[in-house]
Amino acid sequence: MTPASPLQAAWTRIADLAARPSAHHIRPLFAADPTRASRFSASFEDLTLDFSKSSIDSAVLTALLDLAAAAGLKGFRERLFAGAVVNPTEGRAAMHMALRSPRDGGMRAALPGVIDDASVLAANERDKMQAFVARVHSGELRGATGQSFDTVLNIGIGGSDLGPRMVTEALTVVNGPKLRARFLSNVDGHAFKALARELDPARTLVLVASKTFTTLETMTNARAARAWLAAALGEAAVGAHFGALSTNLQATAAFGIAPDRVFGFRDWVGGRYSVWSSIGLPVALAAGWETFQAFLDGARAMDRHFQTAPFAENLPVLLALVGIWHVNALDLRTQGVLAYDERLRRFPAYLQQLEMESNGKSTGLDGQPVPYLTCPVLFGEPGTDAQHSFMQLVHQGTQAVPIDFIFAAVPDHDRPEAHRILIANALAQAEALLRGKSRGEVEAEMRAKGVSAADIAAIAPHRVFTGDRPTNTILFQRLDAYALGRLIALYEHKVAVQGCLWNIDSFDQWGVELGKVLAGGILPELSSGATPGAHDGSTEALIGRFRALRGE
């Protein structure tokens, strides 16, 4: 018999631990060691990750760390930061970390046939962005009528929308925006119609965010915005009101955008990792350059922590390993994220792309089907809103759903009692998921309230909570730009670690590309007189029905 490789042995050990009858149980771990939170948590600066409310014990944690070693995580981390090709299907590095490094950071990134001095290129683009932001804020750059801009409209989709939208909303709540920011992503014409009602074309700066300047949804919306602005101010006004976040200078020039208003980024920056690049320009315009720089600095701090901390103390590694235990050992296929901070209300949507587009893969780097589950389905809402929607399922549904609770200790408002209520709810939800409520507890509680024996027998089963539902808690001092940058980078590196352990490419997204190609083929078939293409029977019928309902 061929002996198992260290990697196979590591996966087998985890499977053996998961097969124990106690593998899903958490309460007995606290009963045996009430102070386990001190051993199953880790901190970096003021940021703490507490994963003690999971069923990970010392044996499991050791096995998970052994898996990381056997999977070559140390070498992967070194290759990632060295700018090696970690996106083999496209022959590229994934060097988004260079976007927040200093000019002399020395980061280099591989592209097919080229090695970029990534730190320098990123710094050059930042300088250009900073100068542009300063000119807009000072009023030196104005619209065609001579009025200063009061609004920036960002037109993008996917990573060109989710990141800047989420970060801008989070960082402009406390002090208000320097420029009002609006975002247009959905190609549905109703979205732009609603936006146009509230925008003054004379005072609106429009940024079109598309690396290739060909993204169908984005360019459709960009042309609508261009027509709207030209109708109000004249065709000659377009150049004064548009900028582009793109690398296609020929296409941006044809659109009417001057080269000094085009801000680019290289192919070693994936869309879902691009908020640190020129894609973050609306963040800087809305929140100010100092805030944007602090945002980059926070991410840079997490980069250094991930790059240097031992795995047993490394927050991205530990967060990733907890997820591996839940998905691959316990077969938990969903993941919830509850940020108890209204400023992070778009954070779950951002993480959906970051995690599911990165690790929603079923083919390994060896070209073979992955023999185990990969990315869970991720969802979330802000607390306390979530408590009145999907948390019923999390507490009493048929499958446990791991939850990440995220909150700050210090708010940036003058209602301390509201913040205490907010955090009491977060802590109570996590504790309730751990503790549950037994049949005996329910019956005793009902008897104490004078409920009849018949009603207790009928109702008590519906009030039982199994408990032993796993959660992580991520706690930090306050949500400022630095903390937000650090938090996002924590999850970025978590995703990369899990991709390494699953042996998949976390930096391509071919499934997204297929939908784009098929949409391009169907589009002309939706017009009257078009010849239908070859589709499955359902798609052909729906195209016909669509045209019939339009009278075509």
Q: pLDDT digit string (tens) for 440-464?
A: 999 999 999 999 999 999 999 999 9
For residue 363, the cross-strand partners are 369
pLDDT of residue 1: 59
How far is Cα 173 from Cα 189, in angstroms, rounded to an integer? 28
pLDDT of residue 517: 83
DSSP H or E stretch at residue 238? helix 238-241
Terminal-to-terminal C-alpha distance of the chain? 68
Q: CA nearest 500: which of 391, 364, 396?
A: 364
How far is Cα 454 from Cα 421, in angstroms, rounded to an integer? 36
Q: CA nearest 50: which of 482, 404, 491?
A: 404
pTM of the predicted model as reported, rounded to 2 decimal places: 0.96
Q: What is the mean pLDDT of each run of 10 residues along the chain (552 residues)?
A: 87 98 97 97 98 98 98 98 97 97 96 93 97 98 98 97 98 96 97 96 98 94 98 97 96 96 95 97 98 98 98 98 98 98 98 98 97 97 94 96 98 97 98 97 97 98 97 98 98 98 97 83 85 86 90 82
How far is Cα 436 from Cα 469, in angstroms, rounded to an integer? 8
Cis peptide before 384 (omega within 30 of 0): yes
The token pair that represents 62 in the structure block: 């050791």
SS3 state of residue 310: coil
pLDDT of residue 551: 87
The token pair that represents 427 in the structure block: 């802590």
pLDDT of residue 232: 97
SS3 state of residue 45: coil
Count of Cβ atoms closer than 10 Å to residue 394 Cβ? 22
pLDDT of residue 86: 97
Alpha helices in 480-523 (DSSP H): 481-502, 510-522
Around 446, how many Cα atoms within 13 Å sit in the side-chain half-sphere?
21
How far is Cα 412 from Cα 342, in angstroms, rounded to an integer? 11
How far is Cα 292 from Cα 282, in angstroms, rounded to an integer? 10
pLDDT digit string, tens, across residues 324-372: 999 999 999 999 999 999 999 999 999 999 999 999 999 999 999 999 9
Pair 495, 506: CB distance under 8 Å: yes
Pair 383, 318: CB distance under 8 Å: no
Pair 372, 447: CB distance under 8 Å: no
For residue 335, the cross-strand partners are 378
CB burial class (10 A; 0-12, 13-18, 19+) of residue 142? middle
Amino acid, res. 267: D
Residues 6+ apart with CB under 8 A from 79: 86
CATH number of 6-70+295-435+469-502: 3.40.50.10490
How far is Cα 398 from Cα 161, in angstroms, rounded to an integer? 35
Catalytic residues: 357, 388, 516
**DSSP summary character for residue 87:** B
Pair 92, 85: CB distance under 8 Å: yes
Count of Cβ atoms closer than 10 Å to residue 74 Cβ? 12
How far is Cα 8 from Cα 28, in angstroms, rounded to an integer? 30
CATH number of 105-287: 3.40.50.10490
